[in-house]
Structures are given as structure tokens and as C-alpha cells.
Amino acid sequence: MSDDPVAVFYQQHPYPPPPSSLDGYQATWRDPVRRRAEFHLLFPGRAYCEDLDVLIAGCGTSQAVRHAMRWPQGRVVGIDVSAASLQSTRELAHRYNVGNLDIHELPIERVHELESEFDLIVSTGVLHHLADPETGLLALRSVLRHNGAAHLMIYARYGRIGVEMFQQYARLLGIGASRAEIIDLANTLAAIPEDHPIVPLLRSSSDFGHPDALADALLNPRERSYPVPELLAALDATGFSFRRWYRQAPYLPWCGAVAQSPHAVKLQHLSPRNQYAAMELFRGSMVRHSLIAHRGDEDRPHEPFGSRWEQAVPIRLPETVIIEERLPPGAAAVLINRSHSYRDLVLPISNAEKRVVMAIDGRRTVAETLAVSDLPNDRGRALYRRMWWYDQVVFDPNPLPTDC
Ligand SMILES: C[S@@+](CC[C@H](N)C(=O)[O-])C[C@H]1O[C@@H](n2cnc3c(N)ncnc32)[C@H](O)[C@@H]1O
């Protein structure tokens, strides 16, 4: 085993705490519409296919098994530096009879040793623990296939200030990660003043309830966090091209309460990158950035509202719901995405717009859904644009031939 302090740490504290069951997860991802929605989010402009080579880089205890269940026609490879986490992965794969998964004890920095390329690379909660995250990004990009996609999650800076304060506090006191020290830490957290910046995180995160998860959050030997501009600069420096935030509405000045504020117009005139940076500062409590990046040498960057947009098939994202109670004045319904943590990310729609939304069934094209209502074309386009901003829909660029 590597003597890197992060590897030693995750050997002692495998993360996340291994799940007792993946039955619910497996059942959820049997839904073909969910898989299509995920595919078109990751690979906009590509025709649907499930025959993917997937790398889970820093897979922890269960993520590689989850993705092998998610893409049963694909081939999934999980790598990690923690043998204990890989053992848990192996046990889960055996229990669920998952046959499309290979795992290797291998650091991201040496991923080229697999001698493989991947359509999809998922690395969540890992790169910010590396001695040099940019070396990790370069290594991942080198095994990403042309037209492939990377789904990366990296700690955000400002929303984690309370955590960083407590990490510094633990370092000052020389607190290690033994069971007894973790229990003392948990009990000390119970005495923390209620206006400490860590308190909202303690309330909203299940992570603090389990000793290994508490250690992961507060006693990790090495981690860094990124404000938006530093994160985008790291992608630029390693040849990745930023495509979108995995859930984008919180980063967009067209969405939520800020769009009605006196600064709306100023914000909307900024460049997209400055909008994201401003929205991170405005929202103040983002704890992680989850994004999709491509290799940066694609054939054609995809524009969802290009010339063929009416022939595309809209697919609603799985966490979206239509609410028809306690509506704002004039609205026939509101659309929300339950994965958003910000309560202002609510999209009101009219009766005519509601008919369009109800017509989205994963088969009809945009044009066919617009035909069910009397919305003029420009209002139909505006509706779809708003649904796109608010993480309500993705588009299958039907009827392209399959890419597989
Ligand atoms: C916070 S956990 C995240 C696990 C998983 N990605 C998930 O989201 O459930 C971080 C994982 O990254 C692994 N890790 C840390 N440094 C690594 C490296 N250089 N190469 C590969 N894995 C690494 C750790 O062993 C640990 O399992």
C-alpha cells in the first residue's frame, strides 16, 4: 500500500460508509428514461448508446458498483488507493452478481497503466485530496476518449468555510483520527455555538452521523477547495473544456430570486464565467462544484438551441416535479427539481406552457410538444430555454444514427 497520507487515511476510514443495500439504487436506474436523461446531460449532441467504457476514478466503497448497475451494457473500471474500499466494492459486486466491473488498486496519477480509454470518467470527491490536483486532471484527460465526458465533483471554497475552520481547530489541538478522538470530536461538535458557520452544514449533511464520514469531513490529512475562477482555470490549464454544471440553475443569474433583483441586468451582462463566479459569491453556501467537462478537442461543441432544436426529443430530468398547489399569482403550475437545495429555484408556468410540459414523454419531438398548445413559436422556445436553465430537461438530438 502507498504511504501517501491520504491513502493511509482512506485505508483506515473507507468512504462512504458501505451501504447495507443497493436494491433501491438498482431499481431506480432500471428506468430507461433516467439513463437516457443522464446520457444526454453528459453527451449533448450525441445519439444515445449504452455501450460505454466508464472509469470511476477514486471509487471508494460503492460508487463503481453503482455505475456498473447503472450501465449494464457498459464496462466499468474502478480505481482507488484504499484496499479496504476496494474490498467493500468487491463484496458488493459479488453480492449483486455484477459482472461488468473491474477494479484496481491504482492512484489516478498512474491511470495510464490501465492502457485503456474511456467514454465517461466519473471522479467525485477525489481530486481535491491529491497532492497536485492538476496532475490528476492531466492523467484523467489522457485516458478520456475523443468525444468523451468527465463528471467531476470538487469542493467549493466559500460554503465550506465552517468546515475549514473546524479542520484548523482540530489541527491546533493535534486531534488524530482514532475512534476515541472521533467520538470526542462528535461530542464536542454538540457544544458548538449555534451561529458557528459549520452549523448549517451539520444540519444538512448526513455525513456527520457516521465516524468514518465525520473523519472524512473534518480530519482529512489533505484537501483543498476551489472558488469557481480557480476551478475553471485548473480545467483550462489541463486542456479540459468546461461544458456545464451538473445542476446549473444555482449558477445562472436567470434563475431564482436574483433574476428579479436590482442587479439582474448587470449580472446578465457578465461573461458566463463571471456569472458563475458572481452567483457562487451571491449564494454563499455552495459546498461542492459538480460539473461536466469534455476533452476540449470535440468535433463540434453542441448548442442545445441550434437550428435543429425543434426536431430534438426533450427528456425531463428524473428529479423534476410539477407542483399545482400554493401557486404564485397567475401561475398554472410551478416546476421544481428536487435535487436543488435552493428554495428559490422554482419555475412558474402558464396553462398553455403546462400543456407543453405534460406532453413531454421521451418520444415526442419539441415541435410535437409545442403543437399541443397554442403557444407562439418564440414563447415555446423561451419556455424550453427556461426549462433548460432550471435543470428541467435535456435533449435527445433525434434522429441521429447511433454513435455506438
Ligand atoms: C471522499 S472519497 C469519494 C469516494 C467516491 N468517489 C464517492 O463519491 O463515493 C475519496 C476516495 O478517493 C480515493 N483517493 C484518494 N486519493 C486518490 C488517488 N490519488 N488515486 C485514486 N484514488 C484516490 C480515496 O481512497 C477515497 O476512496
Side-chain-side CA neighbours of residue 121 (13 Å): 31
315/198 Cα distance (integer angstroms) = 38
The confidence band for 41, taking pLDDT boundaries of 50, 70 and 90, is: very high
Q: Give 25 Cα–ligand 1 centroid separation in angstroms.
A: 21
- Ligand 1 atom closest to the CA of 58, numbered from 1: 22
Cα(45)–Cα(50) distance, integer angstroms: 15
Instruction: Report the separation in Å between the CA atom of 60 and the middle of ligand 1, taken as the mean of its atom positions.
Output: 5
Written as nine digits, the cell of 241 is: 473544456
Q: What single DSSP character describes residue 143?
A: T
Class of domain 5-157+225-294: alpha beta
Question: Residue 190: CB partners within 8 Å, gap ≥ 6?
Answer: none
Please, where in the chain does CATH 3.90.930 lie? 309-394
Closest CA to 44 of 294, 252, 276, 339: 294
Query: What are the pLDDT digits (tens) for 164-173?
Result: 999 999 999 9
Residue 284, judged by CB atoms within 10 A of its CB (0-12, 13-18, 19+), counts as exposed
CA-wise closest residue to 35 among 25, 24, 19, 50: 50
Residue owning the nearest CA to atom 27 of ligand 1: 60
Ramachandran angles phi, psi of 119, nearest 5°: -80, -35
- The verdict on the CB of residue 15 being under 6 Å from ligand 1 is yes
Closest of 173, 253, 254 to residue 218, by C-alpha: 173
- Provide the phi-psi class of 323: left if phi over 0, else alpha when psi is between -120 and 50, else beta: beta
pLDDT tens, residue by residue, 276-334: 999 999 999 999 999 999 998 876 666 777 878 899 999 999 999 999 999 999 999 99
The Å distance, Cα 275 to ligand 1 centre, comes to 30
Strands 144-155 and 118-124, by their bridges, are: parallel
Q: Does residue 79 have its Cβ closer than 6 Å to ligand 1?
A: yes
The 3-state DSSP class for residue 28 equals helix
Asked if residue 88 has its Cβ within 6 Å of ligand 1, the reply is no
Cell of 191: 457544544
Q: Is the CB of 216 under 6 A from ligand 1?
A: yes
Amino acid at 358: M
Atom of ligand 1 nearest to the CA of 63: 9
Residue of 195, 303, 197, 317 whose CA lies nearest to 249: 317
Residue 377's pLDDT band, with cuts at 50, 70 and 90, is confident
Q: What is the dihedral of CA 396, 399, 362, 52, to 10 degrees?
A: -50
Decide: 60 in ligand 1 pocket, CB within 6 A: yes
- Give the 3-state secondary structure of residue 104: strand
Burial level of 348, CB count in 10 A (0-12/13-18/19+)? middle
CA-nearest residue for atom 1, ligand 1, is 125
Residue to probe by mutation, ligand 1, list 9, 85, 126, 290, most atoms within 8 Å of CB: 126
**Of the listed ranges 196-200, 258-262, 289-293, 338-342, the one predicted with least confidence:** 196-200
Q: Hey, what CATH class is 309-394 in?
A: alpha beta
Ligand 1 in reach of 124 Cβ (< 6 A): yes
Give the integer Cα–Cα distance in Å for 204 and 394. Answer: 28
Q: What is the pLDDT of residue 297?
A: 82
Q: Whole-angstrom Cα distance, residue 17 to residue 58?
A: 15
Tens digit of pLDDT for each residue in 64-107? Answer: 999 999 999 999 999 999 999 999 999 999 999 999 999 999 99
Question: What pLDDT does 389 receive?
Answer: 97
Given a contact cutoff of 8 angstroms between Cβ atoms, the answer to whether 290 and 246 are in contact is yes
Q: Whose CA is nearest to atom 18 of ligand 1?
A: 107
16 lines ligand 1 (CB under 6 A): yes
**Residue pointed to by grid coordinates 474502478:** 78
Domain with CATH 3.40.50.150 in the chain: 5-157+225-294
